[in-house]
Amino acid sequence: MRMANSQNWPSVPLSCVCCGAHVRQWGKGYQAARGAAAMAIALLGPDPVRAESWLTAVFPALPHPTQELSGGADATAHSWTAYTGITSTFGSDIRQDGWRFRAVSGYGQYSYTSRQWNGRTIITIPFDGTTVFADIVLGYQHKFGPLTVKAFAGATAQNQSVTPFDIESQLQGWSWGAKGALETWLDIGDTAFAQLDIAMTTAHDSYNGRLRVGYRILPQLSVGLEAGLMGNVEYEAGRLGAFIRYEAGFGEVSLSGGAAGDRSDITGAYGTINALYRF
């Protein structure tokens, strides 16, 4: 039985995906994500057997792992975010049903422009923002045949800092709130799978969701399509792309990329890289 990825979109945590910009600009984030993806591919190499041997030597698989260490980065034309997190099952096998605790934190930067009235005329003002976030949640995993479900609930904290100060934005300073998340994984026969992750928080009414449908071209290597939605009290955006995922006994590594757009009709590319290690 294949196990569900324990990290929601993550690929990037909910706290970091919604920046609340009015109009977005091109930045350096996507080039950084593309470079990270190229480095990962170069390290793994085209040969899955060679990659398995190299990764297992560096990250040996344990027979009964009780924790998962995760990390990754997400970049668009106007923003980038990096995060790290840990999940623990209080001593039981993390691949089996039971309670689990998760803590995630991260940092990101973004830029946007906004047309505002200065008292005499409407001008376009460029803004640069940073975000810091942390989530602490308690959850439970249960398997229903080919379907694995994880539900989490807890608290989140976010800090948004914008320069210069944006008088029209509600997303500035610290915000605290409750968070809930649902992560599902469905095995479709021996070679296909579907994954749906949803998360919401009362901090700025933020939400995100991602759907993946994949196919295992090799026992350890799968490819597929993904789509996502995210937003908060000021911002809404969507994504459509593809992913490649490598899994082994010790964990997994995945890369994804595609097209992204928001309600301001600003479009561009996105890229993500995520890794998970069980120990």
| Minimum mean pLDDT range among 27-31, 140-144, 252-256 | 27-31
Q: Is residue 279 part of a domain?
A: no
Q: Is the pLDDT of residue 252 over 50?
A: yes
CA–CA distance, 154 with 149 (Å, rounded to integer) = 17
Domain count, the chain: 1
Span 177-200, average pLDDT: 97
Nearest in space to 138 (alpha carbons), one of 154, 125, 150? 154
Q: Is residue 5 part of a domain?
A: no
The answer, as to whether pTM is greater than 0.85, is: no
Assigned token pair, 68: 């998962």
- Three-class secondary structure of residue 189 per DSSP: coil
Q: Is residue 107 part of a domain?
A: yes
Each residue of 130-152: pLDDT tens digit? 999 999 999 999 999 999 999 99
- Three-class secondary structure of residue 2 per DSSP: coil
DSSP per position, 122-180: EEEEEEEEEEEEEEEEEEEEEEETTEEEEEEEEEEEEEEEEES--TT-S--EEEEEEEE
CA–CA distance, 85 with 92 (Å, rounded to integer) = 19
Q: Is residue 87 part of a domain?
A: yes
Q: Is residue 88 part of a domain?
A: yes
Give the sign of the dihedral formed by CA 54, CA 59, CA 60, CA 66: negative
Phi first, then psi: give them for residue 181, nearest 5 degrees: -145, 145
List the domain range (segments joined by +) for residue 185. 14-216
Cα 274 versus chain centre, distance: 8
Phi first, then psi: give them for residue 94, nearest 5 degrees: -70, -15
pLDDT of residue 95: 93
- Three-class secondary structure of residue 77 per DSSP: coil
Q: Is residue 2 part of a domain?
A: no
Q: How confident is the model at residue 23 (pLDDT cuts 50, 70, 90)?
A: very low
Each residue of 34-71: pLDDT tens digit? 444 444 444 445 555 555 555 555 556 677 899 999 99
To which residue do tokens 């300073």 refer?
173
Q: Is residue 1 part of a domain?
A: no
Q: Is residue 273 part of a domain?
A: no
Adjacent-strand bridge partners of 273: 73, 255
